[in-house]
Amino acid sequence: MLDFILWFILIYILFRLIGKYLFPFLLKFYLKRFQQKFYQQNSPIDPDRKQDDTNIEFMPDNKSKKKKSSGNIGEYIDYEEIETK
């Protein structure tokens, strides 16, 4: 019974030390690795361009500026109200 308690305390202390020191170190290592992979895959398109330069590459679509015709809305029906007694 005493062996079990000693092993339990030893394992508990080891887990505490791993959680306090080793886990943050491993987390930083994997996050740094993930960040490097992300920046390698998403490199800037134009590496010669300065970071503070503003470049707008947008041409408005002329089709969207046309007014939509209202001829295809539906049929207008004129009705009268009938008075009931």
Q: What is the pLDDT of residues 52-82, one digit of tens each?
A: 777 777 777 766 555 555 556 777 788 888 8
Query: What is the residue-wise DSSP string for the chain?
Result: -HHHHHHHHHHHHHHHHIIIIIHHHHHHHHHHHHHHHHHHHT--S-TTS-TT---------HHHHSPPPSTTS-------PPP--
Residue 14: other Cβ atoms inside 10 A: 11
The whole model's pTM is what?
Answer: 0.39
Distance between CA atoms of residues 4 and 15, nearest Å? 16
